[in-house]
Copies of this chain bind each other. A is one copy, B any other.
């Protein structure tokens, strides 16, 4: 008999070799199209060509697997933010540069939400999982998590004199709140179905609000 229908055909060795990561990867793909609810333990093991229970050798339960996938998704968000910052045109003015990096954090976040709603929801919709927003496992290539990227951008803003120092403490919560809320509106809410350009405009306007009000 050949392969067992879906997914990767059965491996030849009894041991898998890297099951933990294989499960996370499989869960990641499930999350991409379907969000957190779609991260089904049995489906992931199926994809890895392994019995359902094998997962319990690497994760305490479904929640633990979902958590790992969530962290991977957050890392992907960080990657997108960094890319957005890296794509910024070089400007000589330090203040303008700091401002650009700050805005890029927001636009990267929003772009990811619209391009990968499933992963986005997995990264941030999981109840209680945002507590781990500073875990290394959620960091991007630069070693920073989305939250830390935002914090760094705000620090730059202060250093550039664009944000009064006494307004800095807790500012990440204000900024994050606004951007995250808009992301939800774009994914599940009344703003769903906006074209990329329109969404970009909405993001622009929202970040304007933040800059003015923070």
A interface residues with partner B (beta carbon < 8 Å)? 35, 121, 124-131, 133, 147, 170, 173-174, 176-182, 184-185, 187-192, 202, 205-206, 208-214
Contact = CB atoms under 8 A, between A and B. Distances in A.
30 contacts: A35-B127, A121-B127, A126-B188, A127-B188, A128-B192, A130-B184, A130-B188, A130-B189, A130-B190, A131-B189, A131-B192, A133-B189, A170-B202, A173-B182, A173-B185, A173-B191, A173-B202, A174-B182, A174-B206, A177-B177, A177-B184, A177-B185, A178-B209, A179-B181, A180-B180, A181-B181, A184-B184, A208-B213, A209-B210, A212-B212
Copies in the complex: 2
Contacts of A187: 127
A189 to B, nearest CB: 4
Contact of A176 (B181, B211, B214): B181
A26 B205 CA distance: 42
Contact of A181 (B131, B180, B214): B180
Given A213-B211, A213-B212, A213-B214, A185 B176 contact: yes
A128 B188 contact: yes
Contacts of A133: 189-190
Given A178-B209, A184-B184, 12 more contacts: A124-B184, A130-B189, A170-B205, A173-B182, A173-B190, A173-B206, A174-B206, A177-B177, A177-B178, A177-B179, A177-B180, A212-B213
Contacts of A206: 173-174, 177
A128 B117 CA distance: 12
Contact of A178 (B124, B178, B190): B178
Nearest to A178: B178
A188 B131 CA distance: 8
Contacts of A131: 189-190, 192
A31 to B, nearest CB: 13
A121 B127 CA distance: 10
